[in-house]
Structure 1
Amino acid sequence: MTIAPENRPLLTVHTHARGKRSPVTCRLKCNDACLHPAPNESANEYFKDVVSSVLSRRAMLGTLAVAAGAVVIGAQGVTDAPSAEAATLPEGRFPGGGHGKGLSFGAIDPQPVDVDALVVPEGYTWDPIIRWGDPILPGGRTFDPNNQSPEQQAKQFGYNCDYLDILPIRPGEKHRGTRGILVSNLEYTNPEIMFPPTDKYWDVAADGSRTKNAYSRAIERAAHGMAVVEVRRRGTGKPWDYQRISVLNRRIHLDTEFVLDGPAAGSDLLKTVADPTGKRVFGTMNNCAGGTTPWGTVLSGEENFNGYFVAAGANPTADARYGIGSSTSYGWEADEPRFAQSEGYENEANRFGWIVELDPYDPQAKPVKHTAMGRFKHEGANVTLSAKGHAVAYMGDDQAFDYVYKFVSKERVAKGESRWARTHNKTLLSEGDLFVAKFTGDSPAAQIDGSGAVPADGAFDGTGEWLPLVKDGRSKVPGMSVEEVLVYTRLAADKVGATKMDRPEDVEISPVTGRIYVACTNNSGRTPGNATEGATEANPRTHKVVGGATVNGNRDGHVVEIIPSGDQTSTRFTWNLLLVAGDPAVEGTYFAGYPKDRVSPISCPDNLAFDAEGNLWISTDGQPSSSGIAKCDGLFKVPVAGRERGHVQQFLSVPAGAETCGPLVDSRDGMVYVNVQHPGENGSFEAPDSFFPDYVAAGVRPEAGDFRGPRPTVVQVYRDRH
C-alpha cells in the first residue's frame, strides 16, 4: 500500500535553526540539543581575565586589519600587507602552506542555499567514489531504493558518511599509489528520504499519521557505523573506483561485536545482562569525525549517542548530564531493550560515547572502544607523537559549554612495521593519562563585551593548562574513582573546573608546526547575561548586529589555535583565536588580522584537515547569510602562518541541504576529497529537494518519477586535464 502524501509527515521538527542549518538535521543528528538547557550546569568560573601591563606588539600592528567591507570573492592575488601574527613567525620555518602555497585554485563564490550542485573551482572536476547503497560485500545487490532490506543494507555502503581517509594499501607506506583503503564513518539516518511511502516501511495509525516500523528501523541500524572499502585508480592524480568485491571490504554496524578495553573495562558501570563481563558490546553509532593514527589504524568518535537511549539508566544524574531524554526520534527502544535501558540494561548507554579504534588492514580484528580516553560526545580524536614517542590524542566534546580533552599514552610507540610493532602500537590508547583544558584570557573583562570586537592588545589570546583527570593510573578528581572518571567524564571535568567552550568539535594537529587547532562550531546559548556563561576571551561572542537587528548567540563559531609550551606532553600552553567566523561584512568577525574584504565568508567550522604544506582546511556545518540569502556549506583553505595567515578561500560548495564532512586534501596529488552528508535533507522520498549525485547531467534534474537521489556520497575533486 502506498501512503498518501498528506499523511507523510512523521517527524516533529522545530524552527529554531538559523541560516542554512536544517531543523531536520538538528532533530535527527543531535536530538535538538540547542532547544534544551545545556547539560552542563556546573558553576565553573569564567576565564580569569588578566590586565596586561605591557602593550602587545600586536596592538600596534592591529591597524593592518581592514574594516569590514564588501565581500569580493574570486581568484585573489597575494596581499602585500602582512597580518599581525605573520610578523611574529620566522621566515622559512613553515615551508609551502605557511605562506599560502600548496593546492592552487581561484576561490569560488558562495552559493545560495537552494543550489542543487557541487560547485568546484575552474580547472577542477568531481566524481563520486561511493554512494549510500552501493554494494561492497558478497551477496550485496545493486541499490534499489524501492526495495531496501536490513540484510542488503548490511552489505552496502551506509548512510550519512562523515569522517574519511584513504590509506595506502599496505601499512607503513607513505603515499597513496594506485590501490588504497577507503575508511568512512556512517553517522546517522533520515527515514523521510530513505524509505518509499509504503506500508513495507511505515505503520499507519487510524488518523492517517505514520511512524517507522520495525523493518525500517532494522535498516537504519544496518546503515549506521563504518565502512572499509578497497579503491583503485590508473595513476596518481587520477580518480578512484571502489572495488565491489575485496577481502578488505568491511561493514561495521549495530550488530558488530566490539571489545571494551582500558581501566574501565569490566567495571560494574559497564555490565549488562547480555554482557556480564563488561568487556563486550555490540555496535557503534553516531560516528562523526575521527583520525588516522601514526601506526595506520583509524579512530572514530561516537558523538550524539544520547539521542538513541531512553533515560532509565542506573545513574539519572549522569543521564541528564549527557542529554539522555525520555524519548528518542529513532524508536529503537521498541525493538531492543538495551535502547530502553530497561531492567538488566541500565548501563547500556554507558557502553557508547567512546573513541573506537579500527584496524582496516585486518578484517578479522574486532574494533576496540578505549575507555582510557574518556566517555563523552566525541567528535573524533587525532593523534600525534611526543618527542619521546608517547601517543598524544586531542579530542572535543561536541556540546554547547563542554570541553576540550587530551590523552597521553603510558607506553611509547614501537618503530617499524613488524607484526609485534603493530600489535604493540594498537595498545597505546589502552592506558595513559587523561586531561581537560582550562583557558585563561589576558585582556580585561570589560574588553570582552560579547560583540566579537578584538581587545586592545590586538588578539584574543592567553595561556592555558591541561588539568589532570587520571594521572599515573589514579583518579585526580576528588570523590570519583578511575572507573567513574572515565565513564562519567563530563562530571569529572565539571569538578576540576574545565573551561566551557562553544561546541568544540574537530581537533587537528599541524604536521608542520605541531600546533593544535580546535573548531568551535557555534553556541546559540552563549547570549548576553546567560546564567550558564557569557562572553569569555576564548569564546568572545554572545551576539551580532545584522542590518541593525541584534542576533543573540555565537551562531558562526570560531577556531582556536593552541601552542604547546614545549613537548606535546606538556601541561602548559598558550592559545589564540585564528578565526572568529561569519560574514566578513558584519562586525565582530576576525581573520587573524587578514584584510576582511579579501576573505570568503565562513561560518560554523566543523571538520578540520591539513595538507602537506601546513595549510588548514575547514569544512562547515552552517553558512552565513549575505543580503538575507543563506549559503550552501563548503570547504575552505586557510593558511595559518606567514603573510597569508587568515586568508580564507572557499574551494567548493556542496548541494542543497548538504553538509561538508571528512575533508581530505592531498595537495601533492592535486586531489581533494569530501563526504557530502544529508543532501536534500528537507525533502522526502517522493518529493526530493536534491538529486545529488545522480543527476541526468551535471546540475540537471531528472524527470518526475525518475528517482536519482539524494544519496550521501564520498566525492573526489581533481584537476580537469581534458
Structure 2
Amino acid sequence: MTPRNMLQLLPMAGHTRGNRSAATCHFKCGDACAKDVCNTSDNSYFRDIADQALSRRAALGLGGVAAAAVVVGQQLASAPSAAADNGGFGKGGGKLPFQAIAPVERTVDAVTVPEGYDWAPVIRWGDPLFSSAGDFDASNQSAEDQKQRFGYNCDYLNILADRGNGTTGVLVANHEYTNENVMFDPAWLEANPDEARLTAMAAHGFSVVEVRRDKAGQAWKPVVDGKRNRRIHMHTEFAVDGPAAGSDLLKTKDDPTGTVVWGMNNNCAGGTTPWGTVVTGEENFNQYYVGRGTPEEARYGISTEPSSRGWELTEERFDAKNAGYENEANRFGYIVEIDPHDPESTPVKHTALGRFKHEGANVTIAADGRAVAYMGDDERFDYIYKFVSRNKYREGDREHNKTLLSEGDLYVAKFNATSAAEIDGSGKVPSDGAFDGSGEWLPLLVRGTSRVPGMSVEEVLVYTRLAGDKVGATKMDRPEDVDVNPATGKVYAALTNNTRRGTDGNALADEANPRSRNRDGHVLELTERNGDAASLTFGWNILLVAGDPSVDTTTYFSGYPADKVSPISCPDNVAFDSVGNLWISTDGQPGTIGYADALHKVTLTGDERGRVQQFLAVPNGAETCGPVIHDRENSVFVSIQHPGDDGTWDEPTSFFPDYVESRATAGRGEFFGPRPSVIQVFRTTGNNGNGKGRGPKK
C-alpha cells in the first residue's frame, strides 16, 4: 500500500451510525463493524436452556446467588460510612463533590469539566522523555526520534506515586494506534513511505514517564531524562512465557525458538498488579497482518487482503504468505506485563492468559492467595475470561509475584438466566424487576491440562477463541474492561455495544445481553460465590442498560429514575474511587446519542444505586480512556485519545490541547492540530472552574 490520504479509503465512510467518525473506525479497529462476525459458532442461546436453568442452579448450590445479586444494594450498605459521595448531593460522605455537567455536543472542541474544577495537560504526543530529543517538531519526524517521545493515542493510564512524601512517581500509558492522516505532512508521507511506517510503529506501544510535583495533591509534571523513563514500541524485545512458549505455533524465521517477540500493537486497556507491575492487553492486532486464509485466522478477523496500514511493505513479517512468517500474527493478542520501575527489564507476553482481542486485564488476590485476572475479548459475540494462578501471592516478594501470571488455570464465562422466556430483544425488564441470573466459569486449561476436546494446551492458548466456542461460552456484546471493585470484591464488565445482536441469523438477545441491535451497551455486575475471586460459580445482574432516557425507553438503571440520570452510551473503561464508586468512560457516544464522549460516575449502593452523573466531556472526535480517580487528592486523570480523528494535517478538526491559531503561530513544542494527551482535572480553591470548555492549560 503506497501512502496516500487515508480518508479516501475508509470502508466505513457513509456507513457509521449517527456521527461516529469513519476515520476512528478505520484506524482503531480496521473497520471491524463493516466486516463479517468472527464468531460463527452455534453456542446455545439462553432460550435453548431456559428449562435447565433452575435445575443447574440447584445442582451448583446457587439458589441464593442470583437473589443476592438482585439485592446487592442492601448487601453493600454495610460498606464504610464514607462510601458514596454522590457527586456532592444526596446521602453519604463526599470525597470528590461535583455537580453533574450537562451532555456536551459532539462538535465542541474543548474539555468540559464541572463548576469548581479546572484541567491541564500532563503529557502530550511528541513531548520528549529524553533531552536528546529536544522540542517536538511535527514537520521533522523520524522513527528514531519518536522512540524518544511520548507516543500517539494514549489509552490505559495510571499514576503510580512512590512511597514517601508522594512527590515523585511514574506515569504509565499505552499507545494504541496511529492516524497518519493527522500526524504527518502528506508531502513527507508520500516521499518517505517506509520511514513513515517505521515512525508509526515507534508511536505504538507504551510509555513509562517519571513525574514530579511540589507536594501531594498538586499537579504532576513529567521529568525529562527520568531514570525510569522508557519507550516500548514495535521493535522492543519481548519475552514469551507460559505453557505455549516454544510452541511450533509461535516459531518464525526471526525466532525459531518461539520465545522472543519484537513489539506489541493496538494495546488498549490495562491494570496495575498488586505487586506493582503493569499489565496491558493487545486488542485489534488482526488489522496489522496479511493472512493465508486459514480458519484460525478467520476466527481472529485476519484478512488475506493487504492490510490497511501497509506495514508488510516495509517489514515482511507482517505478511503470513512470506515463508517463515506464517505464525507471526500468533505472537500478538496477549496480556503483556511490564515492570515500570526497571527500565532494563524485558516485557513479558503471558500465553497462560490466552490469546484474543484483549481489552485489558485486572488482577486481584483470591481468598487462598492466588492471583486472579479478569479479561474481556472486545469483539461482537465474544467472551469474558478469568485466569487463576497456580502459585500464591507473597507479600513483599516482588520477584516471585512477577511469575504468578506465567502458570495457572484459564476459564471462560457462561451466563445462565432467571427469566429467559421473557427476553424478546426489546430491552423490557423481566417481571422479577431485574436482569439477573447465575453463571459458571467453564474450564479451558486446568493444572496444565487442556479441558477442551480435540485441542492441545498450546492450541487452547494460541486459539483461545476456538476453545471458548467448543465449550459453549456465552456470546456477549463486545466485552471490554472487566475490573474488581476494591471496596466490595464485586466484578464489573463493560459491554460496549453490538448492533448485530438478533439480526441476520446472529445470536438472539438473552438476559445478559437483553437488547437486539444493541447500539448503546450495558454494564454487568458479577458476584463471585462466597466473595472468592477463585470461585467457579457466580451470580450476576445488569447494573445499567445504557442510552439516552429522554428518547430511549429501553434504558435501565437498577431501578433509579431514568429521568434523573446523565445520558450514557458505549461504556468502555471502568474504574473506582477510594470508596468504591464506579466510574465509566465511554467510546462512541457521538455516533449513538450525539454527545461528546465522557466520564461518568455511578453510585452502587443504597437508594441512589444506578444514578449516573457526568463528570467531564472530551473534545471533538475524541474518546475518554484510562480514567484514574484520585479523589482523596481532588484529582481525576484521563487519556484523551484520537481528538480530531476525521481531520487531516492541512485541515484539522480539533486543536486540543495546544489550541494554536495556525501552523505559523505554533510555539516551541506546539502543534497546529490535535495531540492525544493525558490530562489532570483538579478541584480549584475558589469558584474558578465555570463548567465551560476552554483552551490550553500550561
- TM-score, normalised via structure 2 length: 0.91
Amino acid at match of 1:159: Y
Among candidates 318, 338, 362, match of residue 317 of structure 2: 338
Distance 2:492 2:70 in 1: 19
Q: In 1, are the aligned partners of 2:478 and 2:497 still within 8 Å (CA)? A: yes
**Residue matched to 1:496:** 471
After superposition, residues 526-541 of structure 1 pair within 5 angstroms as 526-528=501-503, 530-541=504-515
Deviations 1:595-617 (A, max 9, x none): 11110000000011011110000
Question: Helix, strand or coil for the counterpart of 1:692?
Answer: coil
Question: Helix, strand or coil for the counterpart of 2:543?
Answer: strand
What's the CA shift for 1:308? 0.1
Among candidates 380, 388, 396, match of residue 400 of structure 1: 380
**Residue matched to 2:546:** 581
Deviations 1:393-424 (A, max 9, x none): 000000000000000000001112xxxx1111
**Residue matched to 1:383:** 363
Amino acid at match of 2:625: C
Q: In 2, are the aligned partners of 1:583 and 1:625 still within 8 Å (CA)? A: no
Matched, 1:246 2:237: no
Amino acid at match of 2:224: R
What's the CA shift for 1:434? 0.1
**Residue matched to 1:449:** 424
**Residue matched to 1:672:** 636
C-alpha distance 650-87 of structure 1, shift in aligned 2 (>3 A): closer
C-alpha distance 10-443 of structure 1, shift in aligned 2 (>3 A): closer
What's the CA shift for 1:640? 1.3
**Residue matched to 2:695:** none
Question: Helix, strand or coil for the counterpart of 1:29?
Answer: helix
Distance 1:561 1:535 in 2: 18
Among candidates 178, 181, 189, match of residue 192 of structure 1: 181
Q: In 2, are the aligned partners of 1:602 and 1:624 still within 8 Å (CA)? A: no
Among candidates 78, 82, 104, match of residue 96 of structure 1: 82
**Residue matched to 1:207:** none
Question: Helix, strand or coil for the counterpart of 2:467?
Answer: helix
Among candidates 687, 692, 696, match of residue 656 of structure 2: 692
**Residue matched to 2:484:** 509
Of 599-608 and 90-99, more deviation after overlay is shown by: 90-99
**Residue matched to 1:484:** 459
Matched, 1:317 2:291: no
Deviations 1:103-135 (A, max 9, x none): 110000111111000000010000000000001
Q: In 1, are the aligned partners of 2:587 and 2:597 still within 8 Å (CA)? A: yes
**Residue matched to 1:440:** 416
After superposition, residues 37-116 of structure 1 pair within 5 angstroms as 37-47=36-46, 48-49=49-50, 85=71, 88-89=74-75, 91-98=77-84, 100=86, 101-116=94-109
**Residue matched to 1:609:** 575
What's the CA shift for 1:37? 1.4
Amino acid at match of 1:127: A
C-alpha distance 4-523 of structure 1, shift in aligned 2 (>3 A): closer
What's the CA shift for 1:245? 1.2
After superposition, residues 274-285 of structure 1 pair within 5 angstroms as 274-285=254-265
Deviations 1:675-707 (A, max 9, x none): 0000001111110100000125xxxx5588755
Runs of 4+ residues over 2 Å off in structure 1: 7-16, 48-53, 83-102, 701-709
**Residue matched to 1:129:** 122
What's the CA shift for 1:312? 2.2
After superposition, residues 4-23 of structure 1 pair within 5 angstroms as 9=8, 11=10, 13-23=12-22
Matched, 1:270 2:234: no
Amino acid at match of 1:323: G
Among candidates 607, 622, 625, match of residue 588 of structure 2: 622
Distance 1:97 1:624 in 2: 32
Distance 2:244 2:178 in 1: 30
What's the CA shift for 1:14? 2.5
* Identity across matched positions, percent: 58
Q: In 2, are the aligned partners of 1:50 and 1:441 still within 8 Å (CA)? A: no
**Residue matched to 2:63:** none
Q: In 2, are the aligned partners of 1:95 and 1:613 still within 8 Å (CA)? A: no
Q: In 2, are the aligned partners of 1:21 and 1:621 still within 8 Å (CA)? A: no
Amino acid at match of 1:49: A
Among candidates 453, 469, 472, match of residue 444 of structure 2: 469
Distance 2:114 2:522 in 1: 25
Q: In 2, are the aligned partners of 1:85 and 1:593 still within 8 Å (CA)? A: no
Distance 2:523 2:414 in 1: 16
Q: In 2, are the aligned partners of 1:439 and 1:463 still within 8 Å (CA)? A: yes
**Residue matched to 1:233:** 213
Q: In 1, are the aligned partners of 2:43 and 2:473 still within 8 Å (CA)? A: yes
Amino acid at match of 1:93: A
Deviations 1:424-449 (A, max 9, x none): 1000000000000000111042x211
After superposition, residues 634-645 of structure 1 pair within 5 angstroms as 634-645=598-609
Deviations 1:162-203 (A, max 9, x none): 00001122xxx4x881111000000000011000121x2115
Amino acid at match of 1:300: T
Q: In 1, are the aligned partners of 2:264 and 2:332 still within 8 Å (CA)? A: yes
Distance 1:376 1:671 in 2: 34
Amino acid at match of 2:274: P
Distance 1:671 1:513 in 2: 23
C-alpha distance 684-167 of structure 1, shift in aligned 2 (>3 A): same
Compare the two structures and name the one with the higher helix fraction: 2
Q: In 1, are the aligned partners of 2:4 and 2:190 still within 8 Å (CA)? A: no
Matched, 1:256 2:236: yes
Structure 1: gaps (5+ residues): 54-82, 204-211, 543-552
C-alpha distance 84-410 of structure 1, shift in aligned 2 (>3 A): closer
**Residue matched to 2:24:** 25
Among candidates 511, 524, 528, match of residue 499 of structure 2: 524
Of 508-517 and 129-138, more deviation after overlay is shown by: 129-138
Amino acid at match of 2:315: E
Q: In 2, are the aligned partners of 1:609 and 1:616 still within 8 Å (CA)? A: yes
Distance 1:4 1:463 in 2: 51
Distance 1:97 1:115 in 2: 34
Question: Helix, strand or coil for the counterpart of 2:138?
Answer: coil
Amino acid at match of 2:183: M
**Residue matched to 2:66:** none
C-alpha distance 703-373 of structure 1, shift in aligned 2 (>3 A): closer
C-alpha distance 490-10 of structure 1, shift in aligned 2 (>3 A): closer
Amino acid at match of 2:515: R
Distance 1:86 1:372 in 2: 33
C-alpha distance 465-98 of structure 1, shift in aligned 2 (>3 A): farther
After superposition, residues 182-221 of structure 1 pair within 5 angstroms as 182-198=171-187, 200-202=188-190, 213-221=193-201
Among candidates 164, 188, 209, match of residue 157 of structure 2: 164
- TM-score, normalised via structure 1 length: 0.88
Amino acid at match of 1:263: P
C-alpha distance 120-90 of structure 1, shift in aligned 2 (>3 A): closer
Distance 1:625 1:263 in 2: 42
Among candidates 123, 142, 145, match of residue 149 of structure 1: 142
What's the CA shift for 1:93? 2.6
Amino acid at match of 1:571: L
What's the CA shift for 1:102? 3.2
Structure 2: gaps (5+ residues): 55-68, 87-93, 687-698
Q: In 2, are the aligned partners of 1:20 and 1:632 still within 8 Å (CA)? A: no
